[in-house]
Amino acid sequence: MINVGIAGYGYWGPNLARAVGEAGNARLVMVADRDENACARAAQRHPTVRTTRDIGAMIDDPAVDAVMIATPVSTHFPLALAALRAGKHVLVEKPMADRPDHAATLVDEAARRKLVLMVDHTFVYTGAVQKIAEIVETGQLGDIYYYDSTRVNLGLFQRDVNVIWDLAVHDFAIMDRIFVSQPVAISAGAAGFLDGSPENMAHLSVYYDDGAMAHLNVNWLAPVKIRQTLIGGSRLMVIYDDMQTSEKVKIYDRGAANGADPYERMVSYRLGEMRAPVISTKEALVTEMQEFMRCIETGTRPITDGESGLRVVELLAAGARSCAMRGRPVELALPKVA
């Protein structure tokens, strides 16, 4: 049984607290939040759990094996670092940190201490993304040609972070999960239409080393909510529509036809059947918790490990730099081969 402490009991912390209880082999023992009211809410809902306003004390408490961090982004780095230094396994909210160097420091610290460092990229644990990853990994999709995502809605304007750090982070995490090839450059543009608010609309293009391309359309000021991703492969194509209650993933046996005659004016194409596979409806957050506990117990690496969190932060930071230059591409360093 793994004893868990949660830092931050605002919007997301209560979800983590509930999911810890449903994971099976973990137990919530402490909740820390600087806000007295947050502590009171935690105490009411989890009467057997200790609460404290001193996050540092919780991190150092010997009764805590693993720390989950659901505080504002700017505090992820110092709190996660302190927890690792205290010998605790760490699950940190996305984005993992506000700067790539901070994220890299966390990765190094966890590696040196052989602790589990995991990022809460929840989408990666949904039945839909798991199914897409399976189609890619088994070779059914063929080479990924492109990933094209629209993630827009109305009404989640935030003041302390722009739309890229809020919404694009989801796609970067999914892309990190399913792409085999490496991103080499990013070009992005953004606009903000409300005084005193950060950018609320952005378009980001990511170039991969094998010629593939990804694009993200994120917007807080759209008339309707759209969560739709097209994925083009050399063998199949996929539409992932998260707004559908059923049939979230549709797989099309479509594409350009093999053996297209170069002398024809038009390339011919293939229009085969579509199928919507059965998707697991298990709650993603519970799957993720179980993955975290399994990694702690077996000493293995989670799917959304610290390196994954670091790569996502590098894309976010590079995307923000490109936006400031109206799309001028920012090159991404390829990972060194081990």
Nearer to a copy of itself, 95 or 189 (CB): 189
CA angle 174, 175, 177 (to 5 degrees): 65
Binding residue count for a copy of itself, defined by CB under 8 A: 72
50-52 vs 89-93, strand pairing mode: unpaired
Query: Which residues inside 295-324 make contact with a copy of itself, applying CB under 8 A?
Result: 322
Which pair of structure tokens corresponds to residue 6? 């949660």
Cα 297 off chain centre by: 23
User: Under a CB-based contact definition with an 8 Å cutoff, are residues 163 and 218 in contact?
Assistant: yes
Task: Give the residue from 227, 187, 222 showing the smallest Cα distance to 321.
Answer: 187
Nearer to a copy of itself, 12 or 207 (CB): 207
Pairing of strands 50-52, 26-32: parallel
Token pair of 187 as six digits:
């070009």
List the x/- string, 266-285, binding to a copy of itself by CB under 8 A: xxxx-xxxxxxxx-------
Q: Which is nearer to a copy of itself, 114 or 265 (CB)?
A: 265
Torsion of CA 155, 312, 204, 178, to 10 degrees: -100
The rounded distance, in Å, linking the Cα atoms of 293 and 66 is 9
Q: Which stretch binds a copy of itself (CB under 8 A): 87-95, 109-117, 238-246, 298-306?
A: 238-246
Distance in Å, CB of 52 to a copy of itself, minimum: 24
Site residues for a copy of itself, 125-184, by CB under 8 A, read: 145-146, 148, 150, 152, 154-160
User: Whole-number minimum distance, CB 81 to a copy of itself, in Å?
Assistant: 26
- Compose the 88-127 pattern: x for residues touching a copy of itself by CB under 8 A, - for all others: ----------------------------------------
CB of 166 to a copy of itself, least distance (A): 11
Smallest distance, Å, CB 314 to a copy of itself?
A: 18
- Across-strand partners of 228? 150, 241
Alpha-carbon distance of 17 to 95, in angstroms, equals 19
Piece of 35-43, 60-68, 97-105, 206-214 that binds a copy of itself (CB under 8 A): 206-214
Nearer to a copy of itself, 217 or 290 (CB): 217
Q: How far is the CB of 244 from a copy of itself (least distance, A)?
A: 11
Q: Which stretch binds a copy of itself (CB under 8 A): 115-123, 228-236, 282-290, 297-305?
A: 228-236
* Chosen residue from 187, 287, 304, 308 binding a copy of itself by CB under 8 A: 187
Rounded CA-CA distance 172/34 in Å is 31
Residue given tokens 């996660």 in the structure block:
80
Which residue's entry shows tokens 């205290």?
86
- Give me the least distance between CB of 77 and a copy of itself, in Å please: 21
**Long-range Cβ contact pairs of 31-38 (< 8 A, separation 24 or more):** 31/5, 31/6, 31/58, 32/5, 32/6, 32/7, 32/8, 32/57, 32/58, 32/59, 33/7, 33/8, 33/9, 35/9, 35/10, 38/9, 38/10, 38/13
Shortest separation between residue 286's beta carbon and a copy of itself, angstroms = 20
- Of 85 and 328, which CB lies nearer to a copy of itself in the complex structure? 328
What gap in Å lies between CA 245 and CA 258, rounded to an integer?
A: 35
Nearer to a copy of itself, 234 or 300 (CB): 234
In angstroms, give the least distance from the CB of 1 to a copy of itself: 23
Answer for which of 5, 8, 127, 232 binds a copy of itself (CB under 8 A) is 232
Residue 254 binding a copy of itself, by CB under 8 A:
yes
